């Protein structure tokens, strides 16, 4: 019975690892990594039950506690990289302005904003709202 369980778990791990290897996008690999972590946790649980050795239970505890951080980091990274792409930046608004103005606006929207520039303030407000939308 337990040999059957072990064989099923190994087959599941092989399938998930195959998706981890061939996954076309990074998010596929993140999903497969989560599934692989849970398969490994199931394997450790079965091993613990069969052998009656509770030494690996803290390992399962740590995996349950920290296993999600990897995929969260990957997902966050992917979102930020998409955001830095071309879909979000409204370039037509900046047409005809010099590079110094653009640099000032970009700096000003994130750190100290230049005082007394009402027009650029309006632009930055809209820009900030639009950037926040896709986060």
98 binds other proteins (CB under 8 A): no
Query: Which residues are within 8 A (CB) of 93 and not within 5 positions of it... i.e. 6 or more apart?
Result: 123, 127
CA 48 to each of CA 52, 54, 61, 64, 92: distance values in angstroms, whole numbers, following the listed order: 5, 6, 13, 16, 62
Among 3, 54, 92, 99, binds other proteins (CB under 8 A): 54
Q: Does 89 bind other proteins (CB under 8 A)?
A: no
Whether 43 and 51 have beta carbons less than 8 Å apart is answered as: no
What's the distance, Cα to Cα, between the start and end of the chain in Å?
A: 49
Does residue 58 interact with other proteins by CB under 8 A?
yes
**Residues found near other proteins in the complex (CB under 8 A):** 1-2, 4-6, 8-9, 11-16, 18-19, 25, 27-28, 30-32, 34-35, 38-39, 41-42, 45-46, 48-50, 52, 54, 57-58, 60-61, 64-65, 67-68, 71-72, 74-76, 78-79, 82, 109-113, 115, 118-119, 121-122, 124-126, 128-130, 132-134
């Amino acid at each position: 019975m337990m040999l059957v369980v072990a064989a099923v778990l190994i087959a599941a791990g092989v399938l998930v690892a195959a998706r981890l290897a061939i996954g076309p996008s990074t998010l596929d690999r993140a999903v497969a990594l989560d599934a692989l972590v849970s398969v490994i946790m199931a394997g450790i649980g079965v091993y613990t039950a069969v052998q009656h050795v509770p030494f690996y239970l803290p390992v399962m505890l740590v995996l349950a506690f920290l296993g999600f951080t990897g995929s969260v980091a990957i997902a966050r990274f992917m979102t930020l990289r998409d955001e830095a792409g071309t879909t979000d930046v409204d370039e037509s608004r900046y047409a005809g302005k010099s590079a110094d103005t653009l640099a000032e606006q970009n700096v000003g929207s994130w750190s100290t904003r230049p005082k007394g520039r009402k027009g650029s303030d309006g632009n930055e407000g809209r820009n900030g709202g639009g950037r926040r939308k896709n986060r």
